[in-house]
């Protein structure tokens, strides 16, 4: 009788589950009402050797090699339109397809990524844009695309058409142009990568309510916050914490679109990236999961998940949501890919599969389905529970199956299938601890009547001593927390909403020794959703108080009056952008004026948190137009269009809203509201006179640089006038690197000219993509510093060498001959 009731429910109510407005097709339909889809065509098809792709099990008919227009890609990355129509060259016998995509937010409001080395927030990259949508004109299709530094990562699937992966070729950075991408069908590749899930299907039988569609639910769809940890091997392979963050966020966007198509909202609550050796190691996935559970007993999220290249496959606990009866942890061993193609869809499949276990679903070959404890399919080759084999679905399997090892593959448009999907939706509907999601679509909608803020408080060993409060100007406590009995050395996270105005944040320790550093590494961090830091600290006595204002405020905070002036005579100028910097720099007027020429990218180290109110003021001039004359903030040493304010030049690269220099070799004053374009923590202020085409004679002059928070600097400076010319013009810096022989096959000599004996430079070797390879200790010889680099073991291609001293750094490229 039980089987009959469930079967009847499945037949009668199939499709009755309330459609989520966040399904890809609904996103596109909703956006089409009020938004124009901006057209982008960044790719062109290229021919390549027929043998390419064979190592990954790809047939020539299932792969399209692409070359991206990097300027067009940078434009898309910089502009981040809310809706785009992304054209792709012909695949699978089609003349070409177009994706209709709507920008989404993969993370919860207040999301903060952090490095494991110190637990502090990682400067958030504003370069990535994430989209979900459909293939134009193809019902039932889905797509997820992310635009990150130098790459478009995507997953595309349509009924009967298979799953297609879009991404940069692993060796693209070393190739001419650097825009090599590939679009391929993943069926053959998934069979090449072994995947076995170690999750046990043992447990209580599903009840009828779990297997049947959810006819009623909450008025607001709940949101599942996922805490991710990223192992050191991934961070190392990607070249650092920030590119690894871009990578895993883009992967998560592809996982999230599969769940969104099921009416389930997944969002990142926190990402911890291991930038040093992690405590996780081994070849057994369950062993790694056990280490993860032991290391991360508490976390910021509803589910915790570890990503690593170690072991293979994955494993997760079936303990579900909001339960104290077992760990809510999972582990996925993702793929590094092949030499020719990335393996994003494999990694997406593994993560989606293991998260499905964490949300209560078992394998489709387990004998737990259909109301009579039978299996849905037998793609694994054996059923779990000794029930009869139901065979292999000829139209493709679902996410909780093993059909990827079969010719039929997994069809992402089928999602989890009716019964596993119902189990997941039931688990979420019954989870009382979940909160409603803020709108995933970035369409200007805001569920917060004021400004959303996020507080993180890491307690020390004596959490009972710690309290905090946010007070208005009348001294009334609007939000408060603590003391935290029984929560030593734990991360407390609070989110709240405040209207515009000024406030004080207070934190106190009743014993009088703060929360750092005698009895733990406690700290507090108050941020807005842009990542701007409003209050932070930890080492105090009885208490700490910080005044902050949320814009536009009725009164001016002390921070608004803060002004940072750049003194070039006191700052160490260094080479910026790796091999992009081929020019020279100099100073005159006692260091008040910076002069760049000859295809130069330079920077000073200037840690600064750019808030929505941050303003950059300066004077600029030029006597010779080059390609890009500009200025901007950056968190790394890689040039980025979306960080560069272009002032002058023939090339339309960068933010062009201020490209209005009139020429004439005169000073022109600029006031740029940086916070209106990007926010977050930055390490460098950079300058450019980019001109890499003959005759490479463009130049830039900068002076009177001031950074403030909207209140000005209260100081009048000279404006206008002619630029310095003639014999008193500053000489270019005489320091530089000589690399010989170049190209090289064996040993390379690096001579640092102009560095004094007492400066003791450090010499490092980097790949063309900017990845650190190793360092070399130079020696003082015949009046200059020299180092020897063994290029013999290196693959053929472009590299660059950087020398660094206390006063700056210099870089030079060299080629390793094949």
Full DSSP string of 127-141? --EEEEEEETT-TT-
Q: 197, exposed or middle or buried, with CB in 10 Å at 0-12, 13-18, 19+? A: buried
- In this model, does residue 585 exceed pLDDT 80? yes
Given a cut of 80, whether residue 702 has pLDDT beyond it is yes
442 pLDDT band, cuts 50/70/90, is very low
Query: Comparing C-alpha atoms, which of 732, 640, 725 is closest to residue 631?
Result: 640
What pLDDT was estimated at residue 474?
Answer: 78
pLDDT over 90 for what percent of the chain?
36
What does DSSP assign to residue 76? H
Overall pTM > 0.85: no
Predicted confidence at residue 776, as pLDDT, reads 76
Backbone angles phi, psi at 236, to 5 degrees: -65, -45
Q: What's CA 801's distance to the chain center, in Å?
A: 27
Decide if 232 contacts 276 (C-beta within 8 A). Answer: yes
Assess whether pLDDT exceeds 70 at residue 497: yes
Which CATH number covers residue 778? 2.60.40.1930
Could you give the angle at which helices 241-260 and 344-358 cross, rounded to 10 degrees?
Answer: 60
Residue 229 falls inside a structural domain: no
pLDDT surpassing 50 at residue 693:
yes
Residue 567 clears pLDDT 80, i.e. is over it: no
Q: Are residues 575 and 544 in the same domain?
A: no
Higher pLDDT, 759 or 218: 759
Q: What is the pLDDT of residue 725?
A: 61
Distance set, CA 564 to CA 530, 679, 682, 709, 720 (Å): 21, 17, 14, 10, 21
Paired tokens of 461: 């060993």
The pair phi, psi for residue 336, each rounded to 5°, is -80, -15
Q: Is residue 734 pLDDT above 70, yes or no?
A: no
Reported as a single tens digit per residue, the pLDDT across 413-435 is: 999 999 999 999 999 998 888 87
The answer to whether residues 663 and 744 belong to one domain is no
Summarised one tens digit per residue, pLDDT across range 508-561 is 998 888 898 777 778 888 887 656 678 888 888 888 888 877 764 333 333 444
Q: Which two tokens stand for residue 548?
A: 């902050």
Q: 9: pLDDT confidence band, cut at 50, 70 and 90?
A: very low
Residues 462 and 540 in one domain: yes
> Is the confidence at residue 726, as pLDDT, over 60?
no
**Domain end point (choices 185, 215, 235):** 185
Percent of the chain clearing pLDDT 70 (strictly above): 82
Q: Is 782 a residue whose pLDDT tops 80?
A: no
Quick check: is 249 in a domain? no
Q: Considering its fold, how many domains does the chain have in total?
A: 5
From 168, 185, 202, the end of a domain falls on 185
Average pLDDT over the chain reads 81
The DSSP symbol for 165 reads E
Question: With 60 as the cut, is the pLDDT of residue 257 above it?
Answer: yes
| Alpha-carbon distances, residue 740 vs 119, 452, 760, 786, 787 (angstroms) | 42, 56, 21, 11, 11
Residues 156 and 38 reside in one and the same domain: yes
- Which whole number is the average pLDDT over 170-190? 74
pLDDT digits (tens, 9 = 90+) for 606-661: 778 888 888 999 999 999 999 999 999 987 778 888 899 999 999 988 999 999 99
| Residue pair 144/257 in contact by the 8 Å Cβ criterion | yes
Sign of the CA dihedral running 780, 783, 784, 789: negative
pLDDT band at 780 (very low <50, low <70, confident <90, very high): confident
538 part of a folded domain: yes
How far is Cα of residue 55 from the mean position of the Cα atoms in its chain? Answer: 29
Rg for the chain (alpha carbons), in Å?
28
Tokens of 66: 């692409």
pLDDT class for 54, splitting at 50, 70, 90? low
Domain-terminating residue out of 154, 185, 216: 185
Question: Which residues span the domain enclosing 688?
Answer: 563-709
Helix (H) or strand (E) holding 238: helix 232-238
Burial track 334-352 (b if 16+ CB lie within 10 A, e otherwise)? bbebbebbbbbbbbbbbbb
Provide the pLDDT for residue 604: 85
Listed in sequence order, the residues at least 6 apart from 758 whose beta carbon sits closer than 8 Å to its beta carbon are: none
pLDDT tens, position by position, 308-329 = 999 988 999 998 898 766 899 9
d(CA 661, CA 654): 15
557 part of a folded domain: no
Peptide bond into 695 cis (omega under 30): yes
Confidence class of residue 599 from pLDDT cuts 50, 70 and 90? confident
CB 423 within 8 A of CB 360: yes
Q: Which has more pLDDT, 49 or 350?
A: 350
Query: Looking at the structure, do residues 58 and 153 belong to the same domain, yes or no?
Result: yes
């Amino acid at each position: 009788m039980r089987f009959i009731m469930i079967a009847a429910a499945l037949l009668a109510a199939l499709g009755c589950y309330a459609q989520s407005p966040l399904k890809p097709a609904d996103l596109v339909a909703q956006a089409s009402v009020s938004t124009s889809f901006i057209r982008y065509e960044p790719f062109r098809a290229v021919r390549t050797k027929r043998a390419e792709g064979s190592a990954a099990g790809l047939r020539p008919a299932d792969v399209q090699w692409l070359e991206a227009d990097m300027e067009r890609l940078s434009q898309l990355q910089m502009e981040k339109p809310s809706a785009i129509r992304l054209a792709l060259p012909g695949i699978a016998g089609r003349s070409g397809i177009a994706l209709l995509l709507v920008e989404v937010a993969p993370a919860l409001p207040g999301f903060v990524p952090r490095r494991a080395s110190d637990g502090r927030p990682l400067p958030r990259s504003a370069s990535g844009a994430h989209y979900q949508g459909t293939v134009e004109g193809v019902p039932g299709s889905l797509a997820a695309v992310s635009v990150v530094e130098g790459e478009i990562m995507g997953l595309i699937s349509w009924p009967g058409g298979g799953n297609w992966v879009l991404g940069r070729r692993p060796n693209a950075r070393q190739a001419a142009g650097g825009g090599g991408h590939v679009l391929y069908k993943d069926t053959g590749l998934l069979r090449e990568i072994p995947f076995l899930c170690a999750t046990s299907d043992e447990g209580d039988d599903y009840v009828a309510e779990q297997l049947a569609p959810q006819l009623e639910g909450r008025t607001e769809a709940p949101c599942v916050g996922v805490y991710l940890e990223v192992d050191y091997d991934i961070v190392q392979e990607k070249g650092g914490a920030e590119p690894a963050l871009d990578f895993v966020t883009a992967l998560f966007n592809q996982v999230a679109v599969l769940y969104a198509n099921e009416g389930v909202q997944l969002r990142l609550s926190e990402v911890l990236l291991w930038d040093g050796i992690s405590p996780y190691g081994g070849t057994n996935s369950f062993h790694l999961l056990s280490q993860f559970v032991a290391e991360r007993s508490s976390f910021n999220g509803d589910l915790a998940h570890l990503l690593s290249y170690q072991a293979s496959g994955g494993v997760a606990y079936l303990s579900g949501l909001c339960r104290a009866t077992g760990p809510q942890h999972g582990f996925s061993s993702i793929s590094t890919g092949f030499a020719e193609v990335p393996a994003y869809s494999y990694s997406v499949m593994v993560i989606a599969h293991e998260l499905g276990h964490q949300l209560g679903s078992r394998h489709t070959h387990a004998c737990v389905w259909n109301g009579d404890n039978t299996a849905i399919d037998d793609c694994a080759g054996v059923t779990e529970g000794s029930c009869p084999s139901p065979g292999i679905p000829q139209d493709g399997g679902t996410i909780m199956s093993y059909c990827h090892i079969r010719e039929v593959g997994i069809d992402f448009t089928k999602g989890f299938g009716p019964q596993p999907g119902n189990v997941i939706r039931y688990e979420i509907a019954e989870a009382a601890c979940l909160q409603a999601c803020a709108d995933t679509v970035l369409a200007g909608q805001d569920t917060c009547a004021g400004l959303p803020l996020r507080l993180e408080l890491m307690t020390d060993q004596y959490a009972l001593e710690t309290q905090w409060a946010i007070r208005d100007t009348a001294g009334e406590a609007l939000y408060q927390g603590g003391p935290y009995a029984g929560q030593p050395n734990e991360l407390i996270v609070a989110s709240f909403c405040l209207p515009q105005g000024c406030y004080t944040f207070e934190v106190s320790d009743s014993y009088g020794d703060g929360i750092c550093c005698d009895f733990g590494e406690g700290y507090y961090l108050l941020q807005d959703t842009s990542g701007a830091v409003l209050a932070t600290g930890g080492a105090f006595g009885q208490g700490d108080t910080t005044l902050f204002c949320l814009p536009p405020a009725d009164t001016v905070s002390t921070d608004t009056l803060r002004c940072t002036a750049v003194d070039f005579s006191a700052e160490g100028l260094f080479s910026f952008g790796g091999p992009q910097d081929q020019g020279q720099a100099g100073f005159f007027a006692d260091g008040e004026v910076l002069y760049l020429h000859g295809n130069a990218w330079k920077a000073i180290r200037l840690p600064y948190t750019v808030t929505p109110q941050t303003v950059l003021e300066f004077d600029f001039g030029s006597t010779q137009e080059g390609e890009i004359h500009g200025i901007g903030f950056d968190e790394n040493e890689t040039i980025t269009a979306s960080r560069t304010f272009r002032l002058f030049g023939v090339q339309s690269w960068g933010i062009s809203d201020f490209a209005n220099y009139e020429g004439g070799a005169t000073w022109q004053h600029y006031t740029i509201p940086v916070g209106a374009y990007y926010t977050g923590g930055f390490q460098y202020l950079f300058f450019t006179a980019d001109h890499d085409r003959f005759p490479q004679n463009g130049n830039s002059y900068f002076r009177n640089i001031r950074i403030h928070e909207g209140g000005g600097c209260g100081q009048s400076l000279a404006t206008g006038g002619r630029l310095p010319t003639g014999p008193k013009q500053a000489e270019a810096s005489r320091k530089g690197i000589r690399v010989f022989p170049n190209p090289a096959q064996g040993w390379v000599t690096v001579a640092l000219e102009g560095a004094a004996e007492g400066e003791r430079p450090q010499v490092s070797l980097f790949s063309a993509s900017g990845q650190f390879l190793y360092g070399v200790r130079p020696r003082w010889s015949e009046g200059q510093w020299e180092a020897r680099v063994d290029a013999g073991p290196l693959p053929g291609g472009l590299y660059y060498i950087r020398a660094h001293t206390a006063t700056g750094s210099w870089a030079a490229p060299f080629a390793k001959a094949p």
